[in-house]
Structure 1
Amino acid sequence: MIDKNKMPVAVGVAFVWFTTQFGGGFASGAQLVQYFVAFGIWALITPILAQAIGAVFQWYGLRFAKIHDAYDYRTFNNKFYGKFAPIFSNLYEIVYILLLCLAPSVAFATGGSTMKSLTGIPYMACTLIIGLFIFVVTIFGTDFVRKAASTLSVIIIAGLLIVYIPNIIVSWGDIVSNIRTLGADPAPAGPALWSCFIYGSFQLASIGLLYQHAQSFQTEKEAGKSMIYGFFVNSGLIMLSTLGIMAIATNPELSKDPLPVITLIKGGVGAGFMNPMISILIILGAVSTAVNMIAGAVQRVVVALEKPEERRNDGKPTAKTLICALLCTILAFSIAQFGLLPLVKVGYGYLGYVTIVVVLVPFLIRMIGEAMGKIEK
């Protein structure tokens, strides 16, 4: 297992951002296509702009958290929004609930689509299998999954590098040809930049999960250092992946493909071993994401409902935990039946709109006020 405690703090926090953004949904390639590659030649710029949005706003949030000793999102919001806290603190709770509903559902859909591609089993049956596994692990194995999450993410990333680098090399001629074709008749910049902005915005829905890590900083300056590291690492991987997908960018069916990376592999090199390898890693990443998000929802609900004397110390789940985990799993399973592409494009899109109002705009107003000397740090 990777021990983030042995890393420099700034590198460790950058790694947290890294693993938060790049899960099973990213590994499938669906997010890259829907928010970047679908807009043609602009995909060579917009993924980096999206990382810049994340880096700037997360830096500001982490710095504020350190300065004001606000290491959970409720405390942070109450201090950050000031007299507007009664409104915006509760609005962020809604954002967080939407995230808790959507992220596991996308994980279900990613795992289900990948299992269907790998085995040929119908999609609903695949999501049902994924759901049963997620429910069991959520009840009995969350500690292991949490400990394994960082290691698993690194394995997924290593798998992506193994897939993309040789395929980029072999498909370089197609990539260059597609770039020239897309550049000769570029799509309008406006929709491409707006899609990039929405992607950067919905990624900020999980900003509240980062604040706890600011407690380990020696000074608030480490917030900037961590986001610089994170920007370069995230930008490097997202551009490598985007470049790989550009090999199939002119495929007329690409926008309807829930697993572009599998399509890339099947037309590239090493499909015989790469396809099962990346499929298994995507499924594991999706399961890990879903378990962590559902376990978080269960924890929030059960702590509120259970009296201290009802809680067990033997590691076995209580009846309330079982019921809540089952309901959350059924909810995620039900939402997943809409399919991966609608969840990625429409679901995350609406989450992005809400996050603009609750996070991005208030942060921007405070940044400008601080720069003008009207608001203290």
Structure 2
Amino acid sequence: MVSQNFQQNGFSNLPKAILNAFTYAGFQCVTLPTIIACGKVFQGQKNYGEKKSMWVSFVMNTVALGMAVIMLMSYQGIYSKSEAGLTLPTLTSLASMHMDWMMIVYGITLVLCLISTGVTTTFVFVSRFENSKVVAKIQNPVRRRITISAFIIILSMTIALAGLTNIIKFGYGYCGYLAIAIVVIPFLTIGVYKNRK
């Protein structure tokens, strides 16, 4: 199926594929500003293998993404038949394999991914805003952190009311385009210049 698709289309979809790659990278970078915002918390901690962990993460994500792309290209004829399939192609492809254990593994993996992202985002928001003037009236630091965490969770749940399909169909793409402009391009230009300097 992959080779047949390539024989039919060749490199005609390459520009769109490159744009989609940058959009996906941009979406993945959406959480970077919140992590960078609390960068002062990590200053001075230079011996924790940040570079090694980033390279390991890069390799793991590259391999996983490459395998996912091959799978999706192979099952394109199945998930492209419906709007739900196009919205959640991985889930639709796995369902068509009729292997229940893969659906369970996929569900567990997805929940773990969501939890890791949620914990990271909540942590950096608390680290960044716990000393801001907005919550300065709350004297107890634990209550202050709980208040900020609750706000982030409630905000996330409110956005989730839009529905998974709408979030994936519109939110991911718009976040990706926005991040290309405010994260990816500045990092590849100004960021590289500053690092070299």
Q: Tell me, yes or no, whether TM beats 0.5.
A: yes
Q: Find the partner of 2:190 among 362, 371, 375.
A: 362
**Quick one: percent identity of the two aligned structures?**
15
* Residue 341 (str. 1) matches residue 169 (str. 2): yes
CA shift, 1:296, in A, is 2.6
SS at match of 1:241: helix
CA shift for structure 1 position 208: 7.9
The verdict on how the C-alpha distance between 1:339 and 1:307 changes in structure 2, with shifts beyond 3 A counting, is closer
Residues 26, 175 of structure 2: 8 Å contact kept? no
- Structure 2 Cα separation of the partners of residues 345 and 202 of structure 1: 7
What is residue 95 of structure 2 aligned with on the other side? 266
Check the 8 A contact 2:29/2:183 in 1, yes or no: yes
Who is 1:199 aligned against?
24
Q: CA deviation at 1:202?
A: 4.6
* Over 6 Å off, 4+ runs: none
Give the direction of change, closer, same or farther, for the CA distance of 1:290–1:208 in structure 2 (3 Å limit). closer
Letter in structure 2 aligned against 1:297? F
Distance in 2 between the 1:303 and 1:262 partners? 42
Deviation at 1:247, TM superposition (A): 2.3
Q: Is the 8 A contact 2:75 2:93 kept in 1?
A: yes
Q: Which residue of 1 aligns with 2:9?
A: 185
Matches within 5 A, 1:149-160: none
Q: Give the distance between the partners of 1:273 and 1:240, measured in 2 at CA.
A: 19
Match of 1:59 in 2: none
CA distance in 2 between partners of 1:208 and 1:353 (Å): 16
Q: Deviations over 1:297-351 (max 9, x none)?
A: 2342223245699235xxxx41x44443333223222323142221222222212
Q: How many correspondences in the alignment?
A: 183
8 A contact 1:204–1:355 mirrored in 2 = yes
Relative distance call for 1:290 and 1:362 in structure 2 (3 A) is same
- Whether 1:286 aligns to 2:111 is no
Where 1:310 maps in the other structure, the secondary structure is coil
Answering whether residue 117 of structure 2 is matched by residue 328 of structure 1, we say no
Preserved contact between residue 199 and residue 352 of structure 1 (Cα < 8 Å): no
Partner Cα separation in structure 2 for residue 309 and residue 346 of structure 1: 35
**Equivalence for 1:215:** 46
Cα distance in 1 for partners of 2:157, 2:7 equals 41
Q: Distance in 1 between matches of 2:145 and 2:58?
A: 38
Aligned partners of 1:282 and 1:359: how far apart in 2? Answer: 28
Is the CA contact 2:34–2:125 (under 8 Å) kept in the aligned structure 1? no
2:70 aligned residue: 243
Is this contact kept in 2: 1:178–1:249, CA < 8 A? Answer: no
Q: d(CA) in 2 for partners of 1:207 and 1:321?
A: 20
Q: 1:75-103: CA deviations, max 9, x gaps?
A: xxxxxxxxxxxxxxxxxxxxxxxxxxxxx
What aligned pairs does 1:40-59 form with structure 2 within 5 A after superposition?
none
Report the TM-score, using the length of structure 1 for normalisation. 0.40
Cα 1:311/1:185, change in 2 over 3 Å: same
Indicate conservation of the 8 Å contact 1:198/1:353, yes or no.
Answer: no
Structure 2 unmatched ranges of 5 or more: none
Q: Is the 8 A contact 2:29 2:179 kept in 1?
A: no
- Distance of aligned partners of 1:269 and 1:207 in 2 relative to their CA distance in 1, 3 Å threshold: same
Offset from partner CA, 1:250-269 (integer Å, 9 cap, x none):
34247753432221221114
Shift of residue 365 of structure 1?
4.1
User: What is the match of residue 124 of structure 2?
Assistant: 296
Residues in 2 aligned to 1:228 and 1:329: alpha-carbon distance in whole angstroms: 30
What amino acid is aligned across from residue 47 of structure 2 in structure 1? S
Post-superposition offset of 1:362: 0.6
1:326 to 1:293, Cα distance in 2 relative to 1, 3 A: same
